[in-house]
Amino acid sequence: MTEHHTTPSVVIDHPEEIPGYTYGSADAPASPLTLQDLERLRAAVDLTEEDTEALEAAARILADQADDMVSAWRAKLREQPWLAGYSGHPDGSPNPEYSAASKPRFDRWIIDACTRPLDQAWLDYQNEIGLRHTRAKKNRTDHADSLDHIPMRYLLAFTAVVIATSRQYLAKGGATAKELDRMHAAFTKSVMLHVTVWTRPYVDPVNW
Amino acid sequence: MTEHHTTPSVVIDHPEEIPGYTYGSADAPASPLTLQDLERLRAAVDLTEEDTEALEAAARILADQADDMVSAWRAKLREQPWLAGYSGHPDGSPNPEYSAASKPRFDRWIIDACTRPLDQAWLDYQNEIGLRHTRAKKNRTDHADSLDHIPMRYLLAFTAVVIATSRQYLAKGGATAKELDRMHAAFTKSVMLHVTVWTRPYVDPVNW
């Protein structure tokens, strides 16, 4: 069976052309976090240099599959009608324009999570992604008609699906079991690092 | 090489005798969440009946290793001096009494995460665990001299270590690769379900 992957080439080769993707640009406001904050979170997820190498290998396997991964995750989300208003219109009816507009950025996040260095540009764009899940900035990028805040609990809970299902996509690269374990552990750490930083705008800094 | 596991028998066979472990007792106040909230979070992490079966198998493998797992996780935390005050005294110096007092409950959590049904007792005790990480209740159970609040970002970030390292312990059960994948995915979902609920006291309900 031939597998046909559909990650748009712009996502892989020219992310700077993705509408609303402001990674590394002046349109991503400065994160309130410092590089020391980031270093401590990197240590807390235990993301090592070995993990960084494993993530580079993971990126080579996942890039072509990124769009399929996002499609599968969204299919899982669509099974939960109480979530429909966050990606659809506020009444839960489908909003294909919004879904199409946000998908290349979601796809690209998978690649970025494997390849981007943990620097100021990383901090700034992750801050922006976090804000775009909350009342602060949701819907603005795509001028979308949708509920204006994704509850933090669903953001966190759905991370389990992202982590658990990523293994099957990594496995398609034909790596040894040991290499697959390394890539999957590294991807798990990277995902949790990202999601942790995305929660910052949800929480009073004194508690976060 | 003979492996010697050290999970105390009370943790495995008589958890109700663990000091401060109030699972299912009237000493665990009612969670503010409803069973419908829990059902939606179960769906969000995609914890299925097949996962529940895989978790039962995982419990049989992890129970004897639970104390070793917690020891290894705590060793990893000790590498991060800026976290020392949360488990040690407020100045970061070791607090062996507090560590010893809280360890059986941490051990038991691994077993509970694989075996407990998702019911009102689950909700109530997870709410209690969340509160015990925050200013609301940290240190009270063990009358401990320690910082009174674990920042949410470290709780979330460290989840990556729990999920990633659990695989090597599950692998010691001699399961097939496919069974190991099932158990690890199920454990990942269960851990994220727990940690998600633990974040509730950190966040304004309108955002959570």
Backbone region of residue B105 per phi and psi (left: phi > 0; alpha: psi in -120 to 50; beta: other values): alpha
pLDDT of residue A28: 84
Sign of the CA dihedral running B159, B160, B163, B167 = negative
Q: Residue holding tokens 């040991």? A: A178
| B53 close to A (CB below 8 A) | no
**Contact present, A159 and A199 (Cβ < 8 Å):** no
Mean pLDDT of all residues in B1-26:
89
- Structural contact between residues B157 and A45, judged by C-beta atoms closer than 8 angstroms: yes
Confidence of residue B3 (pLDDT cuts 50, 70, 90): low
Rg (alpha carbons) of chain A, rounded to whole number: 17
pLDDT-above-70 percentage for chain A: 99
Domains of chain B by start residue, with CATH: 33-202 (1.10.490.10)
User: CA-CA distance, B86 to B151, in Å (whole number)?
Assistant: 9
For A136, phi then psi, to 5°, come to -60, -40
Contacts of B96 (CB under 8 A, 6+ apart): none
pTM metric for this prediction: 0.97
Dihedral sign (CA A193, A195, A196, A201): positive
Residue A153 carries which side chain, given as an amino acid letter?
R
Instruction: Indicate the pLDDT class of residue A3, thresholds 50, 70 and 90.
Output: low
The predicted structure's pLDDT at residue B147: 97
| pLDDT tens column, B47-93 | 999 999 999 999 999 999 999 999 999 999 999 999 999 999 999 99
Assess whether pLDDT exceeds 90 at residue A48: yes
d(CA A132, CA A150): 9
Q: Are A22 and A128 in contact (CB under 8 A)?
A: yes
* Mean pLDDT value across residues A90-115: 98
- Burial of A178 per CB tally in 10 Å (0-12, 13-18, 19+): exposed
Looking at residues A1-21, what average pLDDT do you find? Answer: 88
Give the pLDDT confidence score for residue B68 in this predicted structure.
98
Whether the per-residue pLDDT at B5 is higher than 90: the answer is no
Q: Distance between CA atoms of B69 and B187, rounded to whole angstroms?
A: 14
* A188 → chain B, closest CA residue: B160
Q: Does A161 touch chain B (CB under 8 A)?
A: yes
Residue A64 has pLDDT above 90, yes or no: yes
Chain A CA closest to residue B148: A207
Nearest CB partner across the interface for B153, out of A76, A154, A196: A196
The Cα-based distances of B160 to A23, A160, A189, B5 in angstroms read 24, 11, 5, 24
**Surface-to-core class of residue B178, CB atoms within 10 Å of its CB (0-12 exposed, 13-18 middle, 19+ buried):** exposed
**Confidence at B11, pLDDT banded by 50, 70, 90:** very high
CA distances from B75 to A11, A23, A180, B83, B95 (A): 40, 36, 25, 12, 14
- Chain A residues touching residue B151 (CB < 8 angstroms): 207-208
Task: Establish whether this prediction's ipTM goes over 0.85.
Answer: yes
* A200 shares contact with chain B (CB less than 8 Å): yes
- Per the CB < 8 Å rule, is A161 touching B45? yes
Query: Over 50: is that where the pLDDT of A94 sits?
Result: yes
% of chain B exceeding 90 in pLDDT: 96
Whether residue A148 contacts residue A135, with contact meaning beta carbons closer than 8 Å, is answered with: yes
> What is the pLDDT, as a whole number, of residue B1?
45
